[in-house]
Amino acid sequence: MYKISVVIPTLNRAELLAETIEGIESQSLPREQYEVIVVDNNSADRTIEVLEQKSFTYSNLRFSLQQKPGAAATRNTGLEMSSGEIVLFIDDDIESDRKLLESHLRYHGETPDASVIGTIRTNWETTRDPFLRYMRDRGIFDPYSVNGSTLDFSCYHTGNVSTPRRTLEGLGGFDERFEVYGMEDIELGYRLERSGCPMVRGVEATALHHYFPSYGQFAERCEQAGFSLGLMLKLHPELRGRFTENGRVTRLLRPFHRLYRAAEPMIHPLSRSLEKREERRGSGPISTPLGFHYDWALRYRFFLGFSHYATNGNGVRSNEPAREREDVNIKESTSKVPTSSLVR
């Protein structure tokens, strides 16, 4: 039996995947002590070609195809294929530190029944891109580096997290009803925590995330994550108070959502002008007006995704405009986006 199994879901990222595999196959841990399992979620690029070549090079690498959409089903296939005592989930755009596996195993030796939340860094420090600077300075897209004193199931992001295999299998793995991006990892984290599996920081289990989303790409992610939150709360209604708010402030904010929806076509040209100006300013903090725009735009998209689920009620995304719910507003929505899941 291997000490640790590395499960990597992938979709249409052949070149990045090749680099991710090279990093995980260059560990300080001897290869006979770990296996690498890549599951392709029906890619249309040259992913299979890359996997065939890498599996020929590395005897501890296996791969499979999962046609059912979604990160949950894709990771479950990898879990079913695994034989290691510990399962480490990473994404297909992760550059692993050379001691990543060694560090995860050390943390599990210290706390055998825990899930280890690894640390992921970004390389946005000197970027001139306004949106990346916004996320960098707000800490919105760095959920992998656990900050502050709160560490619970909401930190279970599968870009760099490990759990004993027997524990994952005992809970049935990821819930495959999550077919849209987001929340499938946090939902599993919730079930893990309830079963008595604590979350521990893996400060030295580090990796670099090669991800540079545009505003449009991330806004779409927010909407998808809001939709998936609807399913999360359907499965676990007791978490409604954790992820939503219904107070007086919420009632005051609702009109702003409608106002933003109506004004969005006019706001876009102005925001593009602000972005172009910010690109010339360098890599420092962005201007207050542009930051305010991003705050509300992402909050609105998250809210819109949640409204899609609340309106349809069946877990299937519709292309029809959502009717905004009157009884809920997303609490700290942008910071709740689980960006570590499989990128689609």
pLDDT in tens, 87-119: 999 999 999 999 999 999 999 999 999 999 999
CA angle 193, 197, 203 (to 5 degrees): 100
42 and 66 in contact (C-beta within 8 Å)?
yes
pTM of the model: 0.85
Looking at the predicted structure, is the pLDDT value of residue 338 above 50?
A: no
Could you tell me the pLDDT band of residue 319, with boundaries at 50, 70 and 90? very low
Q: Report pLDDT digits (tens) over 227-241.
A: 999 999 999 999 988
Looking at the predicted structure, is the pLDDT value of residue 279 above 90?
A: no
Q: H/E element holding 207?
A: strand 199-209
Looking at the predicted structure, is the pLDDT value of residue 211 above 60?
A: yes
For residue 277, report the phi and psi dihedrals to the nearest 5 degrees: -65, -40
Q: Report pLDDT digits (tens) over 8-36.
A: 999 999 999 999 999 999 999 999 999 99
Q: What pLDDT was estimated at residue 262? A: 66
The average confidence (pLDDT) of the chain is: 83
Amino acid at site 165: R
Query: Can you say whether the dihedral through the CA atoms of 110, 114, 119, 120 is positive or negative?
Result: positive
Looking at the predicted structure, is the pLDDT value of residue 321 above 60?
A: no
Label the pairing between strands 160-164 and 244-245.
Answer: unpaired
Residue 223 vs residue 333, higher pLDDT = 223
Identify any residues that bridge with 179 across adjacent strands, giving them in sequence order.
Answer: none
CA–CA gap between residue 65 and residue 44 (Å, rounded):
12
CA–CA gap between residue 199 and residue 117 (Å, rounded):
7
Q: What pLDDT was estimated at residue 255? A: 60
Could you tell me the pLDDT band of residue 151, with boundaries at 50, 70 and 90? confident
